[in-house]
Amino acid sequence: MFRTLIETAAPRDADKASFAVVDLETTGLYANSHDRIVEIAVVRLNESGEHLGDFVTLVNPERDIGPTRIHGVSARHVRDAPVFGEIAGDVVAELAGTVLVAHNARFDRDFLRAEFSRLGHQIPESPAVCTLVLARKLHQAKCYKLGALCSELEIPHDKAHSALSDARATATLFTDLIRRALQDPPRGRAALAELGCESWTPPSESEWPKLRATGKRCLRPPAPESREPSSESNYVASLVGRLAPPPSTASAAALEYLALLDRALEDRRVTRDEAELLFATAVRWGLSRDDVVQIHHGYLTSLIGVALQDGVLTDGELSDLREVGELLGYNRDYAGGLVRAALSTARVDQQTRASSTLKGLSVCFTGESICSRNGAPLTRSDAEHLATEAGLRVQASVTKSLDILVLADPDSMSGKAKKARQYGTRLVAERVFWGELGVAID
């Protein structure tokens, strides 16, 4: 399937091209620090997109295993696994002579380089395709994380953060994107060129370290333990999962750095040292200090905007967001100020959007309010005043023309509620209504 695309760039090598789709699970995010690979998977494709075979094994990192609840690998699982030096030759056999493919390719390449470097070997520069960046150029989506793309495109992906499942899903995503590129040749070829694949000729096998393959493998147990964090500890991660995609003008390096930020905040356990390593990684990937500051500011502002979508922000959630601000490099006082400023901006934006959506609709309230605002109970008069300010038309009773009935108790059997149900009027719980309207309540 890929032959037409490859021939555009390197016709003499089209018959030789093959692809190694790689996914790694690691102890952490920072290849040039103390983090190591704990699982590696490679899915091989030929120039026609046909599946050639899989390679997968757990790897003993010879250190703490890292976030088990994220990658699902425990110290017990890797106790008898080979160390990277014992499978380095097997990895060379899988990668030599191929174009590397990965979702956030910089991340995976950095770890592979670091592991070989620890063994005293340098691996050659190979053409690489990042499906994260490629997807942004060839497909309109709400979210470009691997799981979200697979769900939208109906790509099987049953075990997220399992290297083989992720690699297989990435391989399917890659072939889907290539089909899109071939259906729109000018756009597709330009996109691939921008990813650093102007030359599709990978280094020859002689340029790779000459290491013997051992055939050693250690596989995951068939039923990995649950690794879902609690809803409380996963608050920031839940916000990250709902972030809107970055602007289409973002560079490839910025997109991949944003993906690294998502990983860093997946379980909200980032030390100050790791925050420094985030910045060092950004610099190594070609981003300037101004680039990083701008990305961090936009990221935090987006997180706050998502947090406000339900109209409620508790003290604990505010504390979490301040902590994220600190992790992104701001001191505590400045982080708090930035959160408050971004919070104010996000609320104004949300109120503007909500007002424009609901403006002109008629609304009626029923039941004694269970909400408060600025520490004081929200009276019916207050509620009607806030709704009027937002551009809604307040009605005292339910008629057939009423658009919204706001219920203090969603199960209310008041006369207004019964009549609204009879008329088919939209019923909205009080907290939901203020959230949609962008009004902050306690």
> Given this model, what pLDDT does residue 19 score?
92
> Given this model, what pLDDT does residue 43 score?
97
CB 193 within 8 A of CB 207: no
CB 241 within 8 A of CB 145: yes
Nearby residues of 212 by Cβ (< 8 Å), 6 or more positions away? 89
More confident site: 230 or 148: 148
Upper half-sphere CA count for residue 330 (Cβ side, 13 Å): 21
**For the chain, which residues make up each domain, given as ranges?**
3-207, 235-354, 359-437
Instruction: Read off the pLDDT of residues 160-217 as tens digits, 9 standing for 90 and up.
Output: 889 999 999 999 999 988 887 777 655 555 545 554 454 557 788 889 999 999 999 9
Closest Cα to residue 79, out of 97, 96, 104, 59? Answer: 59
Q: How far apart are the first and last CA of the chain?
A: 57
> Given this model, what pLDDT does residue 272 score?
66
Which residues are known catalytic residues? 161
The Cα–Cα gap between 15 and 46 comes to 9
C-alpha distances in Å from residue 123, one per residue of 120, 129, 189, 346, 361: 10, 17, 27, 46, 64
* Average pLDDT of the chain, as a whole number: 81
More confident site: 10 or 275: 275
* pTM for the whole structure: 0.69
More confident site: 88 or 97: 88
Q: How confident is the model at residue 297 (pLDDT cuts 50, 70, 90)?
A: confident
In degrees rounded to 5, what are phi and psi of residue 86? Answer: -80, -15
Q: How confident is the model at residue 9 (pLDDT cuts 50, 70, 90)?
A: very low
Give CA angle at 282 (339, 328), nearest 5°: 20
Q: How confident is the model at residue 333 (pLDDT cuts 50, 70, 90)?
A: confident
Nearby residues of 96 by Cβ (< 8 Å), 6 or more positions away? 202, 203, 205, 208
The Cα–Cα gap between 254 and 133 comes to 10
> Hey, what amino acid is at 95?
L
CB 245 within 8 A of CB 143: yes
Instruction: Read off the pLDDT of residues 19-50 as tens digits, 9 standing for 90 and up.
Output: 999 999 999 888 988 899 999 999 999 887 88
pLDDT at 352 over 80: no
- Residue 412, classed as helix, strand or coil, is coil
Instruction: Read off the pLDDT of residues 368-393 as tens digits, 9 standing for 90 and up.
Output: 888 888 888 899 999 999 999 888 99
pLDDT at 232 over 50: no
> Given this model, what pLDDT does residue 228 score?
45
The Cα–Cα gap between 321 and 19 comes to 41
More confident site: 110 or 238: 110
The Cα–Cα gap between 10 and 197 comes to 10
What the block records as the tokens of 396 is 């005292």
| CATH number for region 359-437 | 3.40.50.10190
The Cα–Cα gap between 291 and 278 comes to 13
> Given this model, what pLDDT does residue 214 score?
96
Class of domain 3-207: alpha beta
> Given this model, what pLDDT does residue 196 score?
47
